Amino acid sequence: MQFGFWGINYKNAQLAVRDRTSFTDAMKLEFFQKAEASGVEQCMVLSTCNRSEVYYLYEEEGQQEKIKKIYKEMFPDVELEKYLLNRRGEEALAYLFRIAAGLESLVLGEDQILGQVKEALDYSRTMGYSKKELNKIVRDAVTCAKQIKTELKISEKPLSVSYIGIQKLEASCGIAGKKILVIGSGKTAVLALKYLYEYSNIQVTACSRTYTHAKRLRKQFPELMVIPFEEWRQVIDTCDIVISATSSPHLIVRKNDFSPKMPMTFLDLAAPRDIDISLEEDSLITLFNLDTLQTIAAENQKERERLREESEKVIEEKLQETLVWLRQSRMDATIESLQQRCSDIVADGYEYLNRKMELSTREQKLLKKVLNASLQRLLREPIQELKRLDSEEEQEEYKQMVRQLFQI
């Protein structure tokens, strides 16, 4: 039994292609059923905005092409031949381990993919298309990813300038209990608001050149106070923190707009700048802008790259454990047959002796235990030897030998 995968991802297929190769749950089930009809009984579909991949266990090499054919038939209107990637064996296993750990993600080390892998396995198992082997493989990958995230904390090195900016504010002046002005209503401003509301007892006022856009923010942030853009100068003097994230080509906050009467911290998330850098000349003002934040983001990216190398070492170690288990599991059916043969012999012997002898309940139990222990002792070393077999050729030879010797 070998492990393999076919699929596309953000590295080799543009968004327009990925959008057209997304699996719904109904399509996943259809894929499972067609794969089973081709002889592949265990498979899993991982379908996200950045990838559309199928993982499976197969017995015969020809089944690889059958899975590819089924995959392509699921999306008849997409020319997939030039995009599809394929891996098998140890290479496919290592790829899944890296996927779960976020090492193959668009944002290196991100956490969301781990939950998506677990959901993909849950669906496959619920539908009856993931059994002992696939369950073991995916769970090992998930366990390894959790160890990497716990020990190396690769995802805790932020790359979002909005998040880094909010962290800088917290380190500089603290956020809880503060009065805050947010200028802008686009994606960057929304991200900043999202991170701000992780802190308690804050009073946030927002404004935007388009007042209706600013008012829409209240659907996501009900506690937010919204004012017309022209009124921000009347509010700024009462604020501890000012965040600006507009798409204006000109400065929004200039030095002569106000005179600070207390310490204030400014966060400029705009490019080009929204906030006049000459504000820093005032001893009451602290200013952070994209130059500082992007430097931190670049340093964090370098640290994530370093941690990637450490993560690969963890994966290699855990991957070998899974490979050993898989090699041994190929003999499970033969070992189970041997043990069943042993149980049948014990049952036959016990029934015969029980008919010939008058035994108490205690003696009956003792007799059954002795018979079973004796045969298990005889089989212990052969079973251990079967588990140690490494190559598929040797395993197949021993399977045939056991069938002949024990008539199973």
**Active-site annotation, residues:** 49
Pairing of strands 42-47, 51-58: antiparallel
d(CA 53, CA 71): 9
Query: Sheet holding 2-9: strands in order across?
Result: 42-47, 51-58, 2-9, 85-88
Query: Using an 8 Å Cβ cutoff, are 129 and 120 in contact?
Result: no
3-state helix, strand, coil in the chain (%, to 5): 60, 15, 30
Total count of residues recorded for the chain? 408
The residues with which 60 forms a beta bridge, in sequence order, are none
Query: Distances from the Cα of 188 to the Cαs of 163, 245, 246, 247, 338, in angstroms?
Result: 10, 6, 8, 10, 65
Query: Using an 8 Å Cβ cutoff, are 44 and 120 in contact?
Result: yes
d(CA 71, CA 58): 15
d(CA 172, CA 167): 9
Q: Among 188, 183, 223, 187, which Cα is nearest to 206's?
A: 183
Helices (H), 290-360: 290-329, 332-356
Structure tokens at 106: 């668009």
In angstroms, the first-to-last Cα distance of the chain is 21
